[in-house]
Structure 1
Amino acid sequence: MARITCDFFSEALTLNTSMTVILPEHKTNKLLPTLYLLHGFSDDHTIWTRRTSIERYVSELGIAVVMPNVDHSFYTDMAYGKKYWTFLTEELPQVARSFFPLSDKREDNFVAGLSMGGYGAFKWGLNKPDQFAAIASLSGVLNLAQHPQENTDHPMAQTLYNVFGGDNIEGSMHDIFHLTRKLDQSDEPKPMLYQACGTEDFLFEENIAFKELTDSLSLDVKTTFDSGTHEWGYWDYHIQEVLNWLPLK
């Protein structure tokens, strides 16, 4: 495998940003299937390669892995900050495909992430189901509508206010539960969904609530709840499960 870190100027963010990309070593004339792999709140584009063996896990799969840096944005055009949703969904795929031989076909594109990145993966895939064949969340923040903004002692409140500006998340493009119901009732393509969370994770209850929702719908969802907390040992193991689950040709 080849691991490359690219610095480039983002028009959406009006600043220099970075992405880390893993590419197969063996050359091919075919455009590569691509997994967009998203980081959590306290991390950046380098964390998956530093804390897991993702490079080794994908070495025989013939896919590219694109890992962008989105700061503390919750993969959103921030009310008081940068336009990370525009960067992620519009600019990043275009830039990555201009640098590397990546397929733009829906059946060749997947997105996954952990914690804040699990939220980002579901948010991206559910808002843009025509772009992805499969989306996966590990220990995801799946019910942001229930997280407080501003004027509380909750450690994330000010950050969420900076991102969403105090707007009501429920029923919006930022609400994973709303997006899931909407997709189930729509005629749009329906990506496969993968959800995993440790039973000792502080986000377990909202992951349980998401499973209860999907149990009532007709979407193709694989759920794994097993022993684990919010830590890299859990994610290193379960990203292997995600790779085995992906509908690779």
Structure 2
Amino acid sequence: MTRHEGRSRTGRGPRAGALLAAAALVMGMTAVAAPPGTAAAAPTFTRAQPFRPADTGARITAETRLGPQEVDITIESPSLGRSVKTRILLPRDWRADATATWPVLYAYHGGQDDYTSWPRNTDIEGWAAGYDAIVVMPEAADGAYADWYNYGFRGTPKWETFHTKEVVQLVERNYHAGTARAAIGDSAGGQGAITYAAKYPGMFRHVASLSGVLWLRAPGMPSLIMATNALNGQDPIAIYGFLVLNAANWRAHDPYELAPRLAGTKVFFSSGTTGNPGPGDPDAPPWDVGLFGEQAVGATNLAFRDRLDRLGVPYTADLYGDGRHNWPAWTRVASRVWPDLMASIGAREL
């Protein structure tokens, strides 16, 4: 990993003719136990009070225990106009009747995926079990981590409001999550993590993006984004609006444009840049969309790095050159950055 004074290997721009193919990847297609001899006590879920709602009226309508430290909640969300799920990992000393709070990490998933993405693809349960912290994995669907513009009419879905207001308030009011927060995300979730940290300074102490698009309006990128939305069966204009006519709304969601607001937040970002496969990647031909897609993403990360350099905003970057847009690369990086995220929120190692 390189800090802001270092320079990372640079890849070339995306190959001609690959834009639509890479679109399926660019905005997010996502292709410790207790110490020896120590019994891990299961958290106590018995509640003396009913679930408390969020300020918007969002409420928890169901709680399903999946294991001693793992629970799914169903959230009825006015911001989304429907109910969705969120997965929560609880520390082993957590109790429903506790008066203490715990530091919390929010893990956002990529596009064409759901709230189970992180546990399906990584050992996030094992990473979480090594620290006295809560981990929250909210649903994001293909919502682009934004309150949709909807041709100026706004309205649902409001994914940004769901994540930054409803989920945060519900876990703080019902699961003793504290205000010492960090966030990590892969692909579209990485873009979302950086965007939220910039739009709401102070919300997160530390934020990490794994192959997120960090310059929405980079040359060729709007076409990729809108093509991705169309391939997902959505109106490609509904999320941010028209590129020129609604340029202000695009800028309002663009990490590159929001970069000055990251001063004071610890920032980490990573991506491949070359369009070549990396360690652990599956065998793929040179024209594989995961390779083209990561090269396009990497170009936005390089531009974002240069933008932060000009602004004098500190960061840590791991622009690792070879690597596909997939979980082998993200798991490798996430496992390395996890202890730093935990330290930033004051989570005690167990």
TM superposition score normalised by structure 1? 0.88
Compare 153-162 and 30-39 and name the one that shifted more: 153-162
What is the aligned partner in structure 2 of residue 187 from structure 1? none
* Larger relative contact order (Cα-Cα within 8 Å, sequence gap ≥ 6): 2
2:315 alignment counterpart: 221
Counterparts in 2 of 1:192-211, with a 5 A limit?
192-199=266-273, 200=275, 201-202=294-295, 203-211=297-305
Q: Which residue in 2 is equivalent to 1:58?
A: 128
- 1:25 aligns to what? 92
2:226 and 2:237 in contact (8 A); partners too: no
**Contact 2:104 2:345 survives alignment (8 Å):** no
State the match for 1:102 in structure 2: 177
Instruction: Give the SS at the match of 1:174.
Output: coil
Aligned to 2:213: 141
1:101–1:205 Cα change, 3 Å: same
Residue 35 of structure 1 deviates from its aligned partner by 0.6
Q: Could you list the per-position Cα deviations for residues 176-220 of structure 1 after superposition, in whole angstroms to 9, with x for gaps in the alignment?
A: 111113444xxxxx1100011123323111111111111223222
Q: Provide the rounded CA distance (Å) in 1 between the counterparts of 2:253 and 2:214.
A: 10
The structure-2 alpha-carbon separation of the partners of 1:40 and 1:171, relative to structure 1 and needing over 3 Å to count, comes to closer
> Structure 1 229/212 Cα, relative in aligned 2: closer, same or farther at 3 Å?
same
Using a 3 Å threshold, how does the CA distance of structure 1 residues 17 and 157 change in structure 2: closer, same or farther?
A: closer
Aligned length: 239
Alignment correspondent of 2:239: 163
Q: Which runs of 5+ in 2 are unaligned?
A: 1-67, 151-155, 276-293
Q: Could you tell me which amino acid in structure 1 is paired with residue 72 of structure 2? A: T
Q: Which one of the candidate residues 236, 239, 242 is aligned to 2:334?
A: 239
Contact 1:20 1:66 in 2 (8 A): yes
Could you tell me which residue of structure 2 aligns to residue 5 of structure 1?
72
- Tell me which stretches of 4 or more aligned residues in structure 1 moved more than 6 Å: none
Partner SS, residue 251 of structure 2: coil
- Which amino acid is the alignment partner of residue 303 of structure 2? A
State the Cα deviation string for residues 29-83 of structure 1 (Å, max 9, x = none).
5311111110101111011001110110121111111111121111111134511
The amino acid of 2:163's aligned partner reads: L
Q: CA RMSD in A?
A: 2.1
Q: Give the Cα–Cα distance (whole angstroms) in 2 for the partners of residues 37 and 12 of structure 1.
A: 20
The 3 A distance-change label for structure 1 pair 248 and 98 is closer
